[in-house]
Amino acid sequence: MIQAYPLAHALAAVLLLCAFALLSQRRLSAMITLYQSEALVLSAAAFWQGYAQGSDDLVLTGIITLSIKGVLLPMALRRIVHRFNLIRAVETVMPVGLSMILGVLLIGIAVKVVLPSTASAVTLTREDLAIALSVVLLGLLVMTTRRNALSQVIGFLSTENGLVLAAIGMPGMPFVAELSVALLVLAALLVVGVFVFQLREHSETLDLSGIEEIERRGR
């Protein structure tokens, strides 16, 4: 197990790097590429943990991650970008530099919170957990700093990668594959939701009755 640390940590660190780069990226296509590389690294981490812990469950998680998050979801996202011509830079709530500083702070908080409280825990998971929490928080930060629905979804997907990273690092945790599939269903539905929204926004026969309805009724 001792030999498992360096590679597991290296993979987690690359994942964190991608998540951080997501924060600075304002073009959707580049965000999708970053997400895709996150997913690829995550599947590699899952395979490695599966090998190190000798667990088929984790290998299965890796296969699911690779095929769906590494290939299918990015393809779907790219199609949405292409179809609705969303190539402009995304509007952000705050300057990118500021959100990156916040990102660094969040990573600091995650490390500060997790490392002391896991002093007695199994060491393989300690740093992994700190990195996973950082990825989760960074994803949430991406969600709050973007105005566009698709980039918020990408932020959520990144958060979800952090969660799976946390789960695969837990020694012998049951149901990891099932939980990651359940998360994937949620993520896939979010992507479908964005598609439906874009469709409504761009269609000629935009149905405004709902908005009038709200105006009439008041909140």
Partner 1 sequence: MSAAALAVLLPVLAAIGLGFAGTPLRGAYANLIVCAVVFLLTIGVFFSPGTGVVQADPLGMIFGLLGGFIALTTAISNIDFVRGEVENMSPGRWRVYHAMCQLMLGATLLGLYADNIGLLWGAVETATIAATLGVSLPRTASALEAAWKYFVLGGVGIALALFGTAVTYLAAQPALGPGLAGMSFAALSAHAGQLDGRLMTLAFVFLLFGYGTKAALVPLHGWLPDAYAEGPAPLTATLSGLLLNVALIAILRFRHLMQANVASGGDAMLPGPFLLTLGLASLLLTAFSLWGRRDSRRFFGFSSIEHSGIAAFAFGIGGGAAIFAGLLHMLLHTLIKSALFQALTRAAALRGGAAPGNFGFSHLRGLAATNRPLAWLLGACIFALTGLPPSGLFSSEFLIISQTIQRQPLLSLPLGLGLVVCAIAIIRLIGPLLFNPAPRRGMLPVKAGAGIGAAGVHLLVVLVLAFAMPPALVRMLSSIAGGLQ
Residues forming contacts to partner 1 in the complex (CB under 8 A) are 113-114, 116-118, 120-122, 125, 129, 132-133, 136, 140, 143, 149, 152, 156, 159-160, 162-163, 166-167, 170-175, 178-179, 182-183, 185-186, 189-190, 193, 196-197, 200, 207-211, 213-214, 216-219
Q: How far is the CB of 23 from partner 1 (least distance, A)?
A: 17
Residue 95 vs 174, nearer CB to partner 1: 174
C-alpha angle 18-94-105 in degrees, rounded to nearest 5: 55
Q: How far is the CB of 51 from partner 1 (least distance, A)?
A: 17
Residue 97 vs 218, nearer CB to partner 1: 218
Contact between 160 and 138 (Cβ < 8 Å): no
- What single-letter amino acid sits at 24? S
| Two tokens, residue 179 | 């939980």
Residue 97 vs 207, nearer CB to partner 1: 207
Q: How many alpha carbons fall within 13 Å on the CB side of residue 149?
A: 15
The rounded distance, in Å, linking the Cα atoms of 78 and 184 is 18
| Two tokens, residue 89 | 């830079």
Residue 25 vs 134, nearer CB to partner 1: 134
The rounded distance, in Å, linking the Cα atoms of 204 and 159 is 34
The rounded distance, in Å, linking the Cα atoms of 196 and 112 is 41
The rounded distance, in Å, linking the Cα atoms of 1 and 97 is 40
Residue 97 vs 116, nearer CB to partner 1: 116
